Structure 1
Amino acid sequence: MITTTDLTKVYRSRDREVTALDGVNLHVRPGQVFGVIGRSGAGKSTLIRCLNLLERPTSGTVTVDGQDLTALDRRSSHRAGRPLREARTHIGMIFQHFNLLTSRTVRGNVELPLEILGLGRRERARKALELLDLVGLADKARAYPSQLSGGQKQRVGIARALAGDPKVLLSDEATSALDPETTRSVLRLLRDLNRQLGLTVLLITHEMDVVKAVCDSAALMEGGRVTESGTVADLLATPGSRLAHELFPLTGSPAPGGTVVDLTFDGESTGRPVISQLSRTFDLDVSILGAAMDTVGGHQVGRMRIALPGDAAQTAAAVAFLRDRGLTVELPAVTADTPVSADAPATAPGEGAVR
Structure 2
Amino acid sequence: MITTKDLTKVYRSRGREVTALDGVDLHVREGEVYGVVGTSGAGKSTLIRCVNMLERPSSGSVTVDGVELNALPGQEHRAGRDLREARRRIGMVFQHFNLLSSRTVQQNVELPLEIIGLDRTQRHRKAAELLDLVGLADKARNYPGQLSGGQKQRVGIARALAGDPKVLLSDEATSALDPETTRSILSLLRDLNRQLGLTVLLITHEMDVIKSVCDSAALMRGGKVIESGGLTELLATRNSELARELFPLGEFGHGQPGNTVVEITFQGDTSAQPFVSQLARTYQIDINILGAAVEHIGGRMVGRMRVELPGGHQENVVPIGFLREQGLQVETVNEANGAVA
- For 1:141 and 1:48, locate their aligned partners in 2 and report how far apart those are by CA, in whole Å: 30
- For 2:57 and 2:26, locate their aligned partners in 1 and report how far apart those are by CA, in whole Å: 14
Task: List aligned pairs for 1:45-194, cutoff 5 A.
Answer: 45-74=45-74, 76-194=75-193
Say if 1:111 and 1:39 are closer, same or farther in 2 by CA, change over 3 A. Answer: same
Amino acid at match of 1:127: K
Contact kept, 8 Å, 1:45 with 1:172, in 2: the verdict is yes
**Does the alignment pair 1:252 with 2:253?**
yes
Contact kept, 8 Å, 2:257 with 2:335, in 1: the verdict is no
Amino acid at match of 2:25: N
**Does the alignment pair 1:332 with 2:299?**
no
**Does the alignment pair 1:295 with 2:326?**
no
Contact kept, 8 Å, 1:249 with 1:339, in 2: the verdict is no
Contact kept, 8 Å, 1:219 with 1:228, in 2: the verdict is yes
- For 2:276 and 2:201, locate their aligned partners in 1 and report how far apart those are by CA, in whole Å: 38
Amino acid at match of 1:298: G
Number of equivalenced pairs? 338
- Report runs of 4+ in structure 1 exceeding 2 Å deviation: 311-314, 332-336
**SS of the counterpart of 1:326?**
coil
Q: TM-score when scaled to structure 2? A: 0.97
Structure 1 residue aligned with 2:197 = 198
- Give how far 1:332 is off: 2.9
Per-residue CA deviations over 1:198-254 (Å, capped at 9, x if unaligned) read 000000011111111110101111111111111000001111000110001003211
Per-residue CA deviations over 1:153-209 (Å, capped at 9, x if unaligned) read 000000000000000000000001000000000001000000000000000011111
- For 1:141 and 1:101, locate their aligned partners in 2 and report how far apart those are by CA, in whole Å: 14
Contact kept, 8 Å, 2:333 with 2:339, in 1: the verdict is no
- For 2:261 and 2:167, locate their aligned partners in 1 and report how far apart those are by CA, in whole Å: 43
- Give how far 1:77 is off: 4.2
Amino acid at match of 1:162: L
Contact kept, 8 Å, 1:239 with 1:329, in 2: the verdict is no
- For 2:71 and 2:212, locate their aligned partners in 1 and report how far apart those are by CA, in whole Å: 35
Structure 2 residue aligned with 1:18 = 18
Contact kept, 8 Å, 2:97 with 2:153, in 1: the verdict is yes
- For 2:61 and 2:77, locate their aligned partners in 1 and report how far apart those are by CA, in whole Å: 23
**Does the alignment pair 1:36 with 2:36?**
yes
**SS of the counterpart of 1:102?**
coil
Structure 2 residue aligned with 1:2 = 2
Contact kept, 8 Å, 2:174 with 2:185, in 1: the verdict is yes
Amino acid at match of 1:3: T
Contact kept, 8 Å, 1:32 with 1:201, in 2: the verdict is yes
- For 1:315 and 1:246, locate their aligned partners in 2 and report how far apart those are by CA, in whole Å: 27
- For 1:18 and 1:331, locate their aligned partners in 2 and report how far apart those are by CA, in whole Å: 41
**Does the alignment pair 1:281 with 2:282?**
yes
Amino acid at match of 1:121: R
Per-residue CA deviations over 1:10-67 (Å, capped at 9, x if unaligned) read 1111231111100000000000000001111110000000000100000000000000
Amino acid at match of 1:6: D
- For 1:164 and 1:4, locate their aligned partners in 2 and report how far apart those are by CA, in whole Å: 23
**SS of the counterpart of 1:257?**
coil
- For 2:34 and 2:22, locate their aligned partners in 1 and report how far apart those are by CA, in whole Å: 20
Per-residue CA deviations over 1:99-119 (Å, capped at 9, x if unaligned) read 101010000100000011110
- For 2:172 and 2:206, locate their aligned partners in 1 and report how far apart those are by CA, in whole Å: 9
- Give how far 1:297 is off: 2.3
- Give how far 1:312 is off: 2.8
**SS of the counterpart of 1:30?**
coil
- Give how far 1:80 is off: 1.2
Q: Superposition RMSD on alpha carbons, in Å?
A: 1.2
- Give how far 1:78 is off: 4.8
Q: TM-score when scaled to structure 1? A: 0.93
- Give how far 1:86 is off: 0.5
- For 2:62 and 2:76, locate their aligned partners in 1 and report how far apart those are by CA, in whole Å: 22
Structure 2 residue aligned with 1:271 = 272
- Give how far 1:259 is off: 1.4
- For 1:101 and 1:123, locate their aligned partners in 2 and report how far apart those are by CA, in whole Å: 21
Contact kept, 8 Å, 2:25 with 2:225, in 1: the verdict is yes
Amino acid at match of 2:259: G
- For 2:289 and 2:151, locate their aligned partners in 1 and report how far apart those are by CA, in whole Å: 43
Amino acid at match of 1:16: R
**Does the alignment pair 1:217 with 2:225?**
no
- For 1:60 and 1:339, locate their aligned partners in 2 and report how far apart those are by CA, in whole Å: 36
- For 2:147 and 2:339, locate their aligned partners in 1 and report how far apart those are by CA, in whole Å: 41
- For 2:269 and 2:335, locate their aligned partners in 1 and report how far apart those are by CA, in whole Å: 29
- For 1:334 and 1:227, locate their aligned partners in 2 and report how far apart those are by CA, in whole Å: 26
- For 2:329 and 2:31, locate their aligned partners in 1 and report how far apart those are by CA, in whole Å: 28
Per-residue CA deviations over 1:94-141 (Å, capped at 9, x if unaligned) read 011001010100001000000111100110010000000000000000
